[in-house]
Amino acid sequence: MITMRWRKIYIIGAALFLCWNIVMYYVFINSKQTKGTLTRLSKKLSNLQDQIHQQIQENDELLEDIKRQKDIFIKKQKSLGISFDFKSKEEAEPPAVAHHSGVVIPVLVIACNRPTVRKCIDLLIKYRPSKEQFPIIVSQDCDHEETAKVIQSYGDQLTHIQQPDQSNIYLPPKEVKYQGYYRISRHYKWALGQVFNQFRYNSVIIVEDDLDVAVDFFEYFLASYSILIRDPTLYCVSAWNDNGKEKLISQQSDLLYRTDFFPGLGWMMTQNMWSELEPKWPNGFWDDWIREPEQRKGRSCIRPEISRTDTFGKVGVSKGLFFEQHLKFIRLNTDFVEFTKMDLSYLIKENYDPKFLKLVYETPSITVNQLTRENGRGLHTVRIQYSDNNSFKSIAKVLGIMVDFKAGVPRTGYLGIITFMYNNIRVYLAPAQSWTGYDPTWS
């Protein structure tokens, strides 16, 4: 501000000098004023120049005083462990410019002791459209040297950070077997704190070190970011479809849905959401915790028809059981969908709910036996109604979808409705139209 005023004074002085020369020319050529008049004008100009010179000196002294005060202030803040950026708007370096709406979204890779993290990182680097737009941060727990060397081999293509707390977490004897889940939760809290509190990003895409990503992984998150920001009834965007097996999905790779179930496995959240969750982050089992009503608060996520991630991590804290039974069958999308060229505003709740509910409850209702007995002959879209958690589970088992609930919410459910394919028939497994909400006791 001071520098700009100093420059303006110089400009004013130059303008006055020019005006003086014009006046002198006019007086000399046209008016032929007396020498006395010229002397008086000369004195006035001389006085004005002296005033300008004095003002410049005062400004310089003021600027020097501000600089001295700034240096003193910085020293005091550094002694307290605080830092500030004092660059003016003109001096500040321009922020990294995204290729879509100026958005920069870091990708946080949660790693531990798998050197195979290389597979995940290779795909992220291969598919990301811009290093500046999608900076990669690999956060490593476990202090595993071989994995650390793999991560560090990428040089400036990513940022490698390491969880400093490697101590065991005290647990009662009956819970010692869950040590891994508690360490994971501790690592997540630390790593997300680094992304939001230290690096100061406004959002993040989180993947774990055993995930493959689809060719349009970044395109999907970039396009859905604006919807996540605009709609307060959303709290995440996920790349995962829990019912994403080949026979349970359509081939329309551009289909997206709302879901009340937190899918995880490649997901995006905002800094505002982290500010809400960080103070109460759990000691263990963070993913089930985030699905509880106290955290979800009636909010939903966006998820795709065809998953944009899949997992190759058979070995982990879950001992590979869930992988063999389910995860390895999830299909990864292979078609590049230009989501950023699509209007995704239909996913905003006020647009989505009326059309979705109308579509579901105007669809003809049949029984699961009718669907399986006829093998879907001549049918395109059907609705099957369930009445309680037991009827839901029995139908789900027959049709091959996930049967479990988390805090009363079935996987991929939205307003109690599960959307999937069965023998190329679109199926809505839905409660009665009078449904009033999830029952947390369903499990």
User: What span, in angstroms and rounded, lies between the C-alpha atoms of 386 and 383?
Assistant: 10
The first and second tokens of residue 232, run together, are: 């307060």
Q: Give the E-state strand segments of 23-132 in sequence order.
A: 107-111
Which residues face 204 on adjacent strands? 269
287 is catalytic: yes
Rounded to the nearest 10 degrees, what angle do helices 2-26 and 35-79 cross at?
A: 170
Which sign does the torsion angle of CA 57, 62, 66, 71 carry?
positive
Buried b (16+ CB within 10 A) or exposed e, 11-34: eebeeeeeebeeeeeeeeeeeeee
User: What span, in angstroms and rounded, lies between the C-alpha atoms of 253 and 304?
Assistant: 8
Q: Which one is catalytic: 254, 287, 353, 439?
A: 287
What CA–CA distance (Å, rounded) separates 440 from 443?
8
Joined together, the tokens standing for residue 428 give: 């809505």
The two three-digit tokens of residue 68, written as one number? 């001295």
Residue 390 CA, chain-centre distance (Å), reads 37
Residues taking part in catalysis: 287
